[in-house]
Amino acid sequence: MIIDRERLLKFLRLTESNHDGEAIAAMRMANKLIRSAGKAWEDVVSSFATPAPKSYGSPASTDYRTPPSKRGTRQSGRADPRRPKTEPKKIYDDNIGTYLKELIKRKHDVSTVMFLVSLSEYYEAKGYLNEPQYETLMRIHDTKRGKSTRRF
């Protein structure tokens, strides 16, 4: 099956959004598009002329000689503060499925629908949402019901 190039490019452009939920949803939709065509990302990028050099350091690093013991750390050897120290808290709320179904049925802009669909797929696969996902879901739920009482 052939990948719809225009849709893929549209999703990839949406990953540049300043809104994390929209960017994540766009990436998930791009992944879904590629999988539905029976392809992998390797197939998509294999047409590039020259392969990128393998980096052993951070992606922004130009020093490819970083030893494995220092990967993911700064030169001082301390842990990189930009990396999350702990996993977000997992939320197992019985109402999440109901909220998602209710919100998906309502009229929303495209990015919100993409986010809700990806959140629904994540919840169905894992059985929980992490704290930032849950807070965003509740913010959408409260806003759409006319209540903007939550403060984050």
- Could you give the percent of the chain with pLDDT greater than 90? 5
Q: How confident is the model at residue 28 (pLDDT cuts 50, 70, 90)?
A: very high
* Neighbouring C-beta atoms of residue 77, cutoff 10 Å: 8
> Alpha carbon of 129 to those of 9, 36, 49, 136: distances in Å?
28, 25, 40, 10
> Which string of b and e fits 13-27 if b means at least 16 CB within 10 Å?
ebeeeeeebbbbbbe
Pairwise CA distance, residues 45 & 72, whole Å? 26
pLDDT at 89 over 70: yes
Q: How confident is the model at residue 17 (pLDDT cuts 50, 70, 90)?
A: confident
pLDDT at 149 over 80: no
Pairwise CA distance, residues 51 & 47, whole Å? 10
Pairwise CA distance, residues 48 & 28, whole Å? 22
The predicted structure's pLDDT at residue 46 = 75
Q: How confident is the model at residue 9 (pLDDT cuts 50, 70, 90)?
A: confident
The predicted structure's pLDDT at residue 57 = 47
